[in-house]
Amino acid sequence: MTQSNSADVLFKPFEGGRLKLGNRIVMAPMTRSFSPAGAPGPDVASYYRRRAENGVGLIITEGTVINHPAAAADHGVPHFYGEEALAGWSQVVREVHAAGGKIAPQIWHTGMAREREKFPDSTASPVGPSGLSLTGESLSEPLTVEEIRDIVKAYGQAAADAKRIGFDAVEIHGAHGYLIDQFFWNVTNKRTDEYGGNLIERTRFAVEVIGAVRAAVGPGFPVIFRFSQWKAGNYGEKLAATPEELERFLAVLSNAGVDIFHASTRRFWEPEFAGSDLNLAGWARKLTGKPSITVGSVGLDSDVASLFTAGKGGQAAGIDNLIERLERGEFDLVAVGRALLSDPAWAAKIRDGRTEELLPFTREDLATLK
């Protein structure tokens, strides 16, 4: 694998409000399920420290579930509540800071993605705005307004704890068909009250979550919001069909208190709308004026779906196109996922021009994720 363009732009400092980073490389949040009973142990702290030691500017943790009985959808997913789990995360923060890195937890509720018979609290039903799965199947009763308010409070408490134990920012997971995104999407949100309606009206739950997070952390603490057009199992879905719709959608979230938009796509190089080369992160930056993070198969030659369909993990690939887009200011930060799973030294190798040493990502990496 060769790389013709200088990667220097990736290693320029970034400053967005109180978030000051040594470079533009972000570790993308990736579920690992390596936290028995929801508490991250020393192995989790070591895992994140290795990436910080090798030059990652900002680590966004795997999704961590908020304090709600139906929040988790997998065994071993870390909690972001409870004395033992928060003590584990405190150690993660200390390790990352000792290595010179910055870190943010991704706070998460899976909503209707939970399958009652598989996951930790078998008595908890999956919850969602209308009780509908991502295929429109009715699985539970719609959330009541009182239940919604309790979940909003749980997001706020998670953010308060993140700041208290020393994290540098917090990311709200509002993508991929999980709970917040289920409120956004007309397939899963059929409500006729104040939490339903058109796309902008369907942002109300997210706005309340962002507001609770902002109130918990104060005006200066960085709040990142991850969003996507696609849903799990529906990669062609678009919440916003045009730039104008996207502008209205993002404006509401921006005004609610988001500082940075993390635009999740499967392939960063794909244009979001016809007639422009801008990807989703590029549009987010252009339309809101706020910093954005791009993500999607960075450093690999195939997207994550290929891992499960064609069994193709991904070979190391050049990042010339990424560098060109970053240089012209399309986005501000670059999130790297699978390439950093298989190769903790990915950032250092890119920085030092050791691209011939970059490691591929294989299915076997999923079993270790060290």
Question: Active-site positions?
Answer: 178
Phi first, then psi: what are they for 225, rounded to 5°?
-125, 120
- In sequence order, the 6+-apart residues with CB closer than 8 A to the CB of 234 are 134, 177
Distances in whole angstroms, Cα of residue 319 to Cα of each of 23, 176, 199, 265, 290: 16, 25, 35, 16, 24
Question: What number of other Cβ atoms are within 10 A of residue 204's Cβ?
Answer: 19
Neighbours of 42 (CB within 10 A): 11
Give Cα separations from 41 to 51, 89, 103, 182, 331 (angstroms).
17, 8, 17, 31, 34
Q: What is the DSSP letter of 37?
A: G
Q: What is the pairing mode between strands 25-27 and 58-65?
A: parallel
Torsion angles phi and psi, residue 26, rounded to 5: -120, 135
Task: Count how many residues are written for the chain.
Answer: 370
B/e letters for 312-345, b = 16+ CB within 10 Å, e = fewer, are: bbbebbbbeebbebbeeebbbbbbbbbbbbbbbb
Give Cα 234 to chain centroid, integer Å.
Answer: 18
Report the distance separating Cα 182 and Cα 177, nearest Å. Answer: 6
Which pair of tokens denotes residue 142? 């719609």
Sequence-distant (≥ 6) Cβ neighbours of residue 286 within 8 angstroms: 278
40, 89 Cβ separation under 8 angstroms: yes
